Structures are given as C-alpha cells and as structure tokens.
C-alpha cells in the first residue's frame, strides 16, 4: 500500500511537471522563440545558477524509483543498486532537457533583448551579489514562514476550540 502511494505521488509530481510545461508553453505557440533567444535564455539560466537546480532531478527520479521497487521487494537491493548505477550513467545527460524546456519558457516570455539585459544584470556586480545572497534569503524566508505558519496554526486552533465550545463541543 505504502509503495503504491509513493509511486502514485511520483506519478502525480511527474504529471504536474508535464502539465506545467504543456500549459506554460501554450502562449508561446503563437510565435516560437528564435534559437538565439533560447541560447541567451540558457545563458541566463546558467548565470543564475539555476541549471544546477535541475541536475539533481534525473538522479532523484532514479533513486525514488529504486526506493519504490525496494519497498516492494527488499531482497532486490543489490540488483536495484546495480541497475540504478547503470541508469545514473545512462541518463546523466538528460538533465539538459529540462534546461532546454525552461530556456524556451524564458524565451517565450521575454524578448531576446530583454534576455540580453537580464543576462547583463546577472553578470554585473549587483547581479552576482543577488545570486550569492538569494539562497540564504530564501532559506531564511522559508524558516520565517514556517514559524509564522505554526504560530498562526496555534492561534486558529485556539480560536476554533473557543468557537466550538460555544456550540457545546469540547475539542
């Protein structure tokens, strides 16, 4: 049951990613971006360091798939590890596919000149500072959001209990 739930979750994530790319590129169908705009968009992705975010996806898919099969039959561990190692080597270059897709999304939403301007920004001292500082800012903002959500949750729980008590329910 747990293994099938994990497989369902994996399928749901993959379907969501597929739909996001399909729906996200719908506006681009009217006019396909030029190859040079796509190339500039790839440079933007690389300059931002975003390409590194996509590279673990292939490995993650392989490892999650291995885990699903391992949960189904733990005795297959050795063979699954060997097959996974083979697949890591075989599929290593597939991460470039997502970079290409993302570059097309950028190129469909920005003109080539805008992409060049964005690239110039990311190559500037301020752009490089943003690239360096943004991960820490995002990390701290996520931590702050978790604390905030927990505090709000406690407030909502207390308020809901009070309101339910008024209705004769002690929860």
pLDDT (tens digit per residue) in 146-156? 999 999 999 99
Instruction: Produce one character per residue of 4-37: b if its CB has 16 or more CB atoms within 10 Å, e if not.
Output: eebbeebeeeeeeeeeeeeeeeeeeeeeebeeeb
Q: Look at the block and give the residue holding tokens 């809901």.
A: 160
Write out pLDDT tens, residues 102-137.
999 999 999 999 999 999 999 999 999 999 999 999
Give percent above pLDDT 70 in the chain.
Answer: 82
């Amino acid at each position: 049951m747990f293994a099938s739930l994990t497989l369902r979750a994996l399928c749901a994530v993959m379907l969501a990613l597929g739909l996001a790319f399909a729906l996200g590129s719908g506006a681009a169908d009217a006019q396909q971006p030029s190859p040079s705009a796509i190339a500039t968009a790839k440079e933007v992705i690389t300059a931002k360091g975003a390409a590194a975010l996509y590279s673990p996806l292939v490995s993650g898919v392989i490892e999650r798939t291995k885990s699903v099969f391992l949960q189904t039959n733990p005795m297959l561990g050795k063979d699954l590890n060997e097959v996974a190692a083979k697949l890591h080597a075989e599929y290593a270059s597939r991460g470039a596919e997502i970079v290409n897709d993302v570059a097309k999304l950028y190129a469909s939403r920005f003109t080539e000149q805008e992409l060049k301007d964005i690239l110039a920004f990311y190559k500037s001292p301020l752009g490089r500072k943003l690239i360096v500082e943004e991960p820490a800012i995002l990390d701290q903002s996520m931590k702050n959001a978790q604390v905030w959500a927990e505090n709000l949750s406690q407030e909502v729980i207390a308020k809901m209990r009070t309101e339910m008590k008024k209705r004769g329910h002690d929860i």
